[in-house]
């Protein structure tokens, strides 16, 4: 039966057309990333200090995966919705349920087949990174594998959302519309981030997959991110199973759907609270210095940081991406509060006396500062514990600047804009062309 589901996805021309378009999106991001990386690398040739800033993970992999994110968001839900809704269009869904004898078994096969279709642009992005290595670029395997693991998890989520939409819709058109609207809702949540006027949506940010993709893109393997995607995907599949139970009607169906939504929320909450995160980057460059990180783990008491900074304040973004991200790797129990987000009617600019103040609390002791410096805040944490700041020396990251021009850039452009999209179409043609029956 799985072979039939794979054929339904991979022998459809629309699947390969989507894969070709996705390859163009991913390839365009790859070319732009290489051009920007090259422009900066020319300046880095004059000094080793600047060369250390050239990180292939953030400079090449992350922009390339940005195109993959857009492609999966647009096409992943459609592939998932089509794999189930087409059975309704053909009026074969009831027959399949009878043949399989189990709704979960049928949905699992449908989901695996949809993942195979959604995996095509992921394979294309991986092929582009091989091109990067071929032209002389540097990649650390653990960084690349972690980044792609996040996008495999995201592909599983969007295809499961498509399956849920297909289970409740009457045809493919309705299923596609519902699936895309569900993914668009996560974009609306992301849009609220960084705007004080939309701070009332701040609590909804925990339900957007984008925030759980960021650790993977930065070389951090976080169990909370894996847990959230696993919970959200499982919850969406549970809803899809409810939609396929055609013997449920009226209040029973409504009550079961509500129970399914509650199960989805509980699974996501349980998953995102899983402790544990590991920095897999080269030289652990996204972590605090090793001695400081080890010492922080031994400090007793609960660590709480309260930052009175609005969403539109650039200091808040710096604090989140630099200090807090590194602190969480050393102290998974870190709790962060943003008082401006807790106000009922937040203003664009808080002119109160305490604005910009950061309070660091460890156990029952606390101290206040106006600095967002990573070293300053870590020093204050150790002072609260009556201990001196450990050795602050960081492992040296050499950096990998690379100028890609001439024939090498031509090869990159040709592979990104022509070779891989054309290859997807050619493979699709070979898979979908009519086969003559032999007598």
pLDDT digits (tens, 9 = 90+) for 392-412: 988 888 888 888 988 899 999
Whether 60 is covered by a domain: the verdict is yes
Residue from 192, 187, 185 nearest 165 by CA: 185
- As beta bridge partners, residue 426 has none
Residues 421 and 341 in one domain: no
Residues 417 and 355 in one domain: no
- Total count of domains within the chain: 2
| Digit-coded pLDDT (tens) for 273-287 | 888 889 999 888 888
In b/e form, how buried is each residue of 347-360, taking b as 16+ CB within 10 angstroms? eeebeeeeebebbb
Residues 139 and 202 in one domain: yes
Residues 12 and 146 in one domain: yes
Whether 393 is covered by a domain: the verdict is no
Residues 212 and 272 in one domain: yes
Residues 217 and 100 in one domain: yes
Angstrom distance (rounded) from CA 265 to CA 234: 11
Asked whether the predicted pLDDT for residue 352 surpasses 80, the reply is no
Alpha helices, H only, 193-303:
209-217, 223-243, 250-272, 290-298
**What value does the mean pLDDT take over residues 362-372?**
90
Report the percentage of the chain scoring pLDDT > 90: 46
| Digit-coded pLDDT (tens) for 153-200 | 999 999 999 999 999 998 889 999 999 999 988 887 777 665 544 554
Whether 395 is covered by a domain: the verdict is no
**What value does the mean pLDDT take over residues 66-70?**
92
Whether 391 is covered by a domain: the verdict is no
Residues 125 and 156 in one domain: yes
- Number of helices (H), then strands (E), in the chain: 18, 6
Asked whether the predicted pLDDT for residue 121 surpasses 50, the reply is yes
**What value does the mean pLDDT take over residues 65-84?**
92
Angstrom distance (rounded) from CA 252 to CA 399: 60
Residues 87 and 147 in one domain: yes
Q: Is the dihedral of CA 337, 343, 346, 350 positive or negative?
A: negative
Look up residue 33 and give its two tokens.
Answer: 């990333």
Q: What angle (nearest 5°) sits at the alpha carbon of residue 96, between those of residues 94 and 97?
A: 65
Quote the mean pLDDT of the chain. Answer: 86
Whether 437 is covered by a domain: the verdict is no
401-to-34, 65, 281, 284, 405 alpha-carbon distances in Å:
11, 20, 17, 19, 13
Half-sphere exposure of 172 (CA within 13 A, CB side): 11
CB atoms within 10 A of CB 274: 17
Specify the residue for token string 């495999």: 152
Angstrom distance (rounded) from CA 331 to CA 110: 40
Q: What angle (nearest 5°) sits at the alpha carbon of residue 232, between those of residues 226 and 233?
A: 90
Residues 273 and 295 in one domain: no
Whether 27 is covered by a domain: the verdict is yes
Residues 299 and 217 in one domain: no
Whether 401 is covered by a domain: the verdict is no
Residues 22 and 165 in one domain: yes
Angstrom distance (rounded) from CA 295 to CA 290: 9
| Weakest mean pLDDT among 57-71, 225-239, 242-256, 359-373 | 242-256
Residues 40 and 127 in one domain: yes
Q: Is the dihedral of CA 326, 327, 331, 337 positive or negative?
A: negative
Half-sphere exposure of 79 (CA within 13 A, CB side): 40
Look up residue 199 and give its two tokens.
Answer: 């701070």
Residue from 403, 311, 394 nearest 349 by CA: 311
What pLDDT is recorded for position 56?
92
**Range(s) of the domain holding residue 267:** 2-278+406-432
Whether 254 is covered by a domain: the verdict is yes
- As beta bridge partners, residue 307 has 358
């Amino acid at each position: 039966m799985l072979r039939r589901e794979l054929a339904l996805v991979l022998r459809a021309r629309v699947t390969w057309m989507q894969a070709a378009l996705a390859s163009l999106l991913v390839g365009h991001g790859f070319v732009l990333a290489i051009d920007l990386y090259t422009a900066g690398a020319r300046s880095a040739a004059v000094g080793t200090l600047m060369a250390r800033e050239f990180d292939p993970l953030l400079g090449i992999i992350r922009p390339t995966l940005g195109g993959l994110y857009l492609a999966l968001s647009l096409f992943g839900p459609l592939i998932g919705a089509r794999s189930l809704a087409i059975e309704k269009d053909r009026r074969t869904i009831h027959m399949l349920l009878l043949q399989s004898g189990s709704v979960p078994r049928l949905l699992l096969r449908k989901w695996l087949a949809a993942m195979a279709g959604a995996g095509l642009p992921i394979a294309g992005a991986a092929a582009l990174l091989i091109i990067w290595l071929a032209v002389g670029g540097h990649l650390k395997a653990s960084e690349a594998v972690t980044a792609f693991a996040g996008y495999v998890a995201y592909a599983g989520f969007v295809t499961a959302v498509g399956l849920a939409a297909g289970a409740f819709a009457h045809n493919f058109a309705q299923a596609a519309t519902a699936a895309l609207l569900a993914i668009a809702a996560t974009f609306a949540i992301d849009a609220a981030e960084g705007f004080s006027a939309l701070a009332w949506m701040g609590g909804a940010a925990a339900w957007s997959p984008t925030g759980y993709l960021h650790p993977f893109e930065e070389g951090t393997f976080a169990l909370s991110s894996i847990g959230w995607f696993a919970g959200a995907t499982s919850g969406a599949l549970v809803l899809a199973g409810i939609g396929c139970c055609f013997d449920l009607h009226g209040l029973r169906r409504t009550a079961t759907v509500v129970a399914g939504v509650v199960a989805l929320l509980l699974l996501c909450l349980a998953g995102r609270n899983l402790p544990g995160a590991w920095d897999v980057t080269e030289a652990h460059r996204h972590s605090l210095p090793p001695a400081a990180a080890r010492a922080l783990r031994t400090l007793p008491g609960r660590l709480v940081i309260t930052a009175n900074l609005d969403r539109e304040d650039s200091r808040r973004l710096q604090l989140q991406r630099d200090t807090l991200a590194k602190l969480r790797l050393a102290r998974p129990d870190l709790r962060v509060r943003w008082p401006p987000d807790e106000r009922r009617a937040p203003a664009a600019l808080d002119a109160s006396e305490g604005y910009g103040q950061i309070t660091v609390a460890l156990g029952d002791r606390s101290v206040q500062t106006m600095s967002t410096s990573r070293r300053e805040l870590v020093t204050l944490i150790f002072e609260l514990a009556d201990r001196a700041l450990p050795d602050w020396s960081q492992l040296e990251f050499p950096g990998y600047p690379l100028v890609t021009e001439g024939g090498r850039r031509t090869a990159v452009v040709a592979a990104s804009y022509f070779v891989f999209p054309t290859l997807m179409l050619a493979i699709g043609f070979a898979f979908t062309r009519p086969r003559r029956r032999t007598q």
